Amino acid sequence: SYELTQPPSVSVSPGQTARITCSGGALPKNFAYWYQQKSGQAPVLVIYADTKRPSGIPERFSGSSSGTTATLTISGAQVEDEADYYCYSTDRSGIHRRVFGGGTKLTVL
């Protein structure tokens, strides 16, 4: 089966750099996407196609990918960045699956 693995939690102080990883065997062939979900809200896309940032997303959010690991980086994390972050990817071989990672709780305090 196709899975994406994330650390359950990451904690940083305000102003520090937060890095959240996502590991998956199909990532070398497929892009990674990142969603931010604040408590009680719907997910919001913050990174698409490994490295691209949608309009309206602060520049402190960036993405990278190497081999089987994609990384979301928040440079100078703010208190308002505290949220759950999910990576997402597709496996277009065979039955065309779509998968979310297990999510990472980012704490900024």
Partner 1 sequence: QITLKESGPALVKPTQTLTLTCTFSGFSLRTSYVGVGWIRQPPGRALEWLAVIYWDDDERYSPSLRSRLTVTKDTSKNLVVLTMTNMDPVDTATYYCAHLYYDFWSDEDYFDYWGQGTLVTVSS
Q: What contacts 24+ positions apart, CB below 8 Å, involve 90-94?
A: 90/30, 91/2, 91/26, 91/30, 92/30, 93/26, 93/29
For residue 77, how many other CB atoms are within 10 A of its CB?
23
**Which residues have C-beta within 8 Å of that of residue 27, sequence separation ≥ 6?**
4, 65, 67, 68, 69, 70, 89
Stretch that binds partner 1, among 16-24, 33-41, 65-73, 74-82 (CB under 8 A): 33-41
CB of 61 to partner 1, least distance (A): 15
Locate tokens 């402190």: which residue?
A: 60
Which residues partner with 23 through β-bridges?
A: 5, 69
Residues in 3-22 at the binding interface with partner 1, rule: CB under 8 A: none
CB of 14 to partner 1, least distance (A): 26
Stretch that binds partner 1, among 13-21, 60-68, 71-79, 87-95 (CB under 8 A): 87-95
Stretch that binds partner 1, among 16-24, 37-45, 63-71, 73-81 (CB under 8 A): 37-45
Site residues (vs partner 1, CB under 8 A): 30-31, 33, 35, 37, 42-45, 48-49, 54, 86, 88, 90, 92, 95-103
